[in-house]
Amino acid sequence: MLRRLFHLLLLIALMLGVAPAMAEYLVEAEDILNIKVFDEPDLSIEEARVSSEGTVALPLLGDVVVAGLTTAQIAARVEALLADGYLKKPRVSVSIDEYRPVFVNGEVKKPGGYSYQEGLTVQKAVVLAGGFTERASRSKITLVREDEPDKVRRVSLTTPVQPGDIITVGESFF
Residue 83 sits in a domain of what CATH number? 3.30.1950.10
Angstrom distance (rounded) from CA 173 to CA 139:
12
Angstrom distance (rounded) from CA 3 to CA 72:
35
Strand duo 152-155 + 136-144: pairing: antiparallel
pLDDT for residue 119 is more than 60: yes
Residue 10 within a domain:
no
Residue 50 within a domain:
yes
pLDDT for residue 15 is more than 50: no
Residue 108 within a domain:
yes
Assign 68 to helix, strand or coil: coil
Residue 86 within a domain:
yes
pLDDT for the residue numbered 19: 34
Same domain for 68 and 111, yes or no, is no
Angstrom distance (rounded) from CA 104 to CA 131:
10
Which parts of 2-118 fold into alpha helices (H)?
2-15, 71-83
Instruction: Look up the CATH number of the domain holding residue 109.
Output: 3.10.560.10
Percent of the chain residues past pLDDT 90, beyond the cut: 80
Angstrom distance (rounded) from CA 32 to CA 34:
7
Stated pTM of the model = 0.75
Same domain for 39 and 86, yes or no, is yes
pLDDT for the residue numbered 4: 52
Residue-wise pLDDT tens digits, 32-71: 999 999 999 999 999 999 999 999 999 999 999 999 999 9
Domain residue limits at 61: 32-98
Angstrom distance (rounded) from CA 86 to CA 89:
9
pLDDT for the residue numbered 18: 37
Same domain for 147 and 107, yes or no, is yes
Cα-only R_g, the chain:
20
pLDDT for the residue numbered 111: 97
Same domain for 94 and 139, yes or no, is no
